[in-house]
């Protein structure tokens, strides 16, 4: 990796909210560009070059034609980083994976559905090797800055393996299950500081299933608190769609 690596941003199916978090670094973005050379960032920059060391990729793979494009990015980049839930775990796009393909295509496109190529939404890692994940929907700009800093130091940032519950307890929140609300903090990968629970909401699971998560125990907790199968499914499908066969 050169001293001042060339960095490019790409997006597939997604809302571009993760790249927005990078723009939202405000003054720190200027600090950052003194250490990296941004060669491609369509959302804020016109000039583009295909010579880059690090590629940040946002969004899910949802069409056959996405595959050659992501493969080319993989070939060009020394390091490929997936940013945001759509890229790291498939995200909200995977909600459509639970609907019959011909049905949702016909629902949206009617008789013209044959014009549109689409298939089940998948994370970037389903197609090419991903070197580093920055989780969240959207990503946390501070975590992004930290991950870039580690990259510049020649390291790969790895998010915590334990679930959000750990951070939520440290933040001093009342357990949502005690309040009668279904919360996925018990199985979701930590690193966000339980930001949604801190704001009065529940954990929605946007950072994906924690590697150490105990799904059986989670099922028991949901049972004990009287949640129905349908309620559990509503929550689990929201972000865990691509891992649902593990549940």
Partner 1 sequence: MTREKPEKQTPVKNPQPAPGAEPSGPKTLKVKHLTRVEGHGNIIVELDAENQVRDCKWHVVEAPRFFEAMVQGRPYEDIHHIVSRICGICSIGHQLCSIQATEDAFGLNVSEQTLDLRKLALHAENMQSHLLHIGYLVLPDLLGVDSVLPLAQTHKDELVNLISCRRVANEFSSLICGRTTHPQRLIPGGMELIPNQDELTGLQAKLYESLDRMDKIVDLFAALSDKWPDFNRPTEYVALVSPTEYALYSGEIGSSKDINRPAQLYQQITNEYCVPQSTAKWAKNTGDSYLVGALARFNLNHRLLSPGARKAADKLGLKAPAHNPFFNTVAQLVECVHSAEDSLEIISRLLSRGLKDEKPARIKVKAGKGVGAIEVPRGILIHSYEYNHEGRIVTADCVIPTNQNHANIQMDMNAMRPMLSGLEPEAIELRLSMLVRGYDPCISCSTHLIDVTGAPKDSLVKFVRV
- The footprint of partner 1 (CB under 8 A) covers 12-21, 23-24, 26-27, 30, 33, 38, 41-48, 59, 62-63, 65-66, 68-69, 91-93, 95-96, 99, 103-104, 107-112, 115-116, 118, 137-138, 195-196, 199-201, 204, 234, 238
Nearer residue to partner 1 within complex by CB, 45 or 161 = 45
> How far apart are CB 155 and partner 1 at their closest, in Å?
26
Nearer residue to partner 1 within complex by CB, 201 or 214 = 201
In the three-class reduction of DSSP (H, G, I as helix; E, B as strand; rest coil), residue 133 is classed as: strand
> How far apart are CB 213 and partner 1 at their closest, in Å?
21
Q: Is residue 199 classed exposed, middle or buried when 0-12, 13-18 and 19+ CB atoms within 10 A define those classes?
A: exposed
Continuous segment of H or E residues that includes residue 108: helix 101-109
> How far apart are CB 45 and partner 1 at their closest, in Å?
4
Cα torsion at 107, 111, 112, 113 (round to 10°)? 50
Nearer residue to partner 1 within complex by CB, 17 or 219 = 17
> How far apart are CB 62 and partner 1 at their closest, in Å?
6
Q: Contact at 8 Å (CB) between 21 and 66?
A: no
Nearest to 63, CA basis, from 102, 24, 120, 11:
120
Nearer residue to partner 1 within complex by CB, 39 or 212 = 39
Nearer residue to partner 1 within complex by CB, 73 or 165 = 73
Order of strands across the sheet that contains 79-83: 37-40, 6-11, 54-58, 79-83, 132-134
């Amino acid at each position: 990796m050169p001293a001042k690596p060339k960095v490019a941003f790409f997006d597939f199916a997604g809302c571009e909210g993760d790249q927005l978090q990078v723009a939202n670094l405000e003054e720190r973005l200027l600090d950052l560009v003194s250490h990296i050379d941004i060669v491609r960032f369509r959302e804020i920059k016109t000039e583009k070059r295909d010579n880059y060391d690090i590629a940040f990729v946002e969004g899910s793979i949802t069409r056959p034609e996405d595959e050659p494009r992501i493969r080319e990015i993989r070939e060009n980049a020394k390091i490929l980083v997936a940013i945001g839930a759509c890229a790291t775990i498939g995200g909200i796009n995977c909600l459509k994976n639970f609907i019959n393909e011909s049905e949702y295509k016909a629902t949206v496109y009617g008789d013209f559905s044959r014009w549109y190529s689409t298939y089940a939404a998948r994370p970037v890692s389903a197609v090419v090797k991903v070197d580093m994940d920055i989780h969240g929907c959207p990503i946390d700009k501070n975590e992004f800055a930290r991950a870039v800093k580690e990259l510049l130091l020649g390291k790969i940032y790895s998010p915590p393996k334990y679930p959000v519950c750990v951070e939520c307890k440290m933040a001093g929140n009342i357990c949502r299950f005690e309040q009668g609300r279904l919360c996925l903090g018990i199985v979701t990968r930590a690193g966000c500081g339980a930001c949604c629970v801190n704001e009065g909401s529940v954990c929605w699971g946007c950072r994906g299933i924690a590697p150490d998560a105990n799904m059986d125990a989670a099922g028991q907790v949901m049972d004990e608190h009287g949640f129905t199968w349908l309620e559990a499914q509503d929550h689990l499908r929201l972000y865990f769609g691509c891992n649902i066969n593990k549940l």
